[in-house]
Amino acid sequence: MWTTLLSKMKTDLQQKVQYSLLVGADYVPVNDWIGHTLVLDYQNRIVCSSCQKVTNKSFSDGFCYRCFISVPEASDCVLRPELCLAHEGKGRDAEWELLNHLQPHVVYLALASQVKVGVTRSTQVPTRWIDQGASQAVVLANTPNRYIAGCLEVALKAHLTDKTSWQKMLKNEVPDLDMLLKKQDVVSLVPEAFSSYICSDAEVVHISYPVQAYPEKVKSLGFDKIPSISGRLVGIKGQYLIFEDGSVVNVRKHTGYEVSIRLA
């Protein structure tokens, strides 16, 4: 049995994505749990992922409210890159912005429930795609910072969604598409102001997940309402644990929750 503060699972793109969970100072391979009955017991304690103080409620990626409204990791431009001010030397923390947002970013097309447009720091490829449960992804543009990537994303939102249906993604309801042809179609929609950033690389990244059986229906469970969650683990996709009965747990959503974990 392990007791840990939950955090986003670490991923490694191999023939099947390899997942591991930080427990203390070590990473435990989560793929090994598939096929076993997994028991997760919430210990009624949440620790802020920034200040490490105990909090009654978690915001965003495991922040207490005070950190949620003050730390750069929870800035508006994290979800809306077009609001980034790092290129103007502004932001909640100028040094953090320099290291994270005033860095090369990509605008990409990912296929999870449907084709979506997204933005991520170049160093987060392919991690970001795996976390979203994408089956395929391709880089559309390379930009020097988050702001320009965000502006291009906004321009393309008139033609593409920037959301993923997590239910369809977990049921593996993925349309059969040629992502290179889709990229060619989208390139024709890119405004002239962004044309110099278009990536000519034709590589499509294919991602396969360790899932024994996809559910026909999915039900999301959370520790705020259910203190103990158990069932036979049949797969992992995105940041979700998938159980045999169709229930799922979003591990990343519960960042900072203290949970005991055992295989029954």
Confidence (pLDDT) at 187: 97
Strand-pair partners of 27:
22
Which two structure tokens, joined as six digits, stand for 70?
């003050």
Q: Are strands 105-111 and 115-121 parallel, antiparallel or unpaired?
A: antiparallel
261: three-class secondary structure by DSSP: strand
User: φ, ψ for residue 16 (rounded to 5)?
Assistant: -120, 140
Q: Is 238:218 a contact under the CB 8 Å cutoff?
A: no
> What does the CA dihedral 130, 70, 151, 195 come to, rounded to 10 degrees?
-70
Per-residue pLDDT of the chain (264 residues), as tens digits, is: 899 999 999 999 999 999 999 998 899 999 999 999 999 999 999 999 999 999 999 999 899 999 999 999 999 999 999 999 999 999 999 999 999 999 999 999 999 999 999 999 999 999 999 999 999 999 999 999 999 999 999 999 999 999 999 999 999 999 999 999 999 999 999 999 999 999 998 899 999 999 999 999 999 999 999 999 999 999 999 999 999 999 999 999 999 999 999 998
Helix (H) or strand (E) run with residue 99 in it: helix 94-100
Q: b vs e for 57-70, b when ≥16 Cβ sit within 10 Å of the residue's Cβ?
A: ebbebbbbeebbee
Residue 203: how many CB atoms within 10 A of its CB?
10
Residue 200: how many CB atoms within 10 A of its CB?
7
Confidence (pLDDT) at 46: 98
Candidates 42, 46, 7; CA nearest to 26 is: 7
Confidence (pLDDT) at 1: 86
188: three-class secondary structure by DSSP: coil
Candidates 61, 11, 51; CA nearest to 255 is: 61
H-only helix segments in 112-217: 127-131, 146-156, 166-170, 179-187
Q: Is 204:179 a contact under the CB 8 Å cutoff?
A: yes
Q: Is 144:84 a contact under the CB 8 Å cutoff?
A: no
Distances (CA, A) of 65 to 62, 70, 74, 79: 10, 9, 10, 17
Residues ≥6 apart with Cβ < 8 Å to 249: 40, 220, 221, 222, 229, 240, 241, 243
Confidence (pLDDT) at 202: 83
